[in-house]
Amino acid sequence: MMHTAFFGDGKHVFALTDDMIAELERIADLGIGAMYLRCVKMHFTLADLVEVIRLGLIGGGTAPERAAQLTDTYGRNRPISELYPLAVDILDARWGGAANEEAPE
């Protein structure tokens, strides 16, 4: 249920663990199923994408401070077309598993 991808300054591992899903649901005031549908149906907010990426980084093992720094630097004022595929891939990895699941190096 992990996804590995390039984001910002290099390759990172992303995982929406149960705790990160609970935090995403709290922040968005929306259940994970509704969030997933909102994203795949293109009804997301920019904050949805950034939070999925940030919480995915934390769940993948990145320190919370570093995850916030990465999303502040590389997730804001960027084309949405750069953020959307990554956020959906992170959600997909948790929803049904991902083809590129690898352990962190």
Q: In which domain, by residue range, is 53 found?
A: 12-96
Q: What is the pLDDT of residues 4-55, one digit of tens each?
A: 999 999 999 999 999 999 999 999 999 999 999 999 999 999 999 999 999 9
Pair 52, 16: CB distance under 8 Å: yes
Residue 5 covered by a domain: no
Closest CA to 98 of 32, 33, 11, 3: 3
Q: What is the pLDDT of residues 52-75, one digit of tens each?
A: 999 999 999 999 999 999 999 999
Residue 17 covered by a domain: yes
Residue 1 covered by a domain: no
Q: How far apart are CA 86 and CA 31, in angstroms?
A: 20
Residue 104 covered by a domain: no
Q: How far apart are CA 59 and CA 48, in angstroms?
A: 16
Residue 20 covered by a domain: yes
- Specify the pLDDT at position 97: 82
Distance of CA 37 to the CA centre of its chain: 15
- Specify the pLDDT at position 6: 96
Residue 7 covered by a domain: no
Q: How many folded domains does the chain comprise?
A: 1
Bridge-partner residues for 43, per DSSP?
Answer: none
Residue 18 covered by a domain: yes
Sequence length of the chain is: 105
- Specify the pLDDT at position 101: 52
Residue 6 covered by a domain: no
Q: What is the pLDDT of residues 81-102, one digit of tens each?
A: 999 999 999 999 999 986 555 5
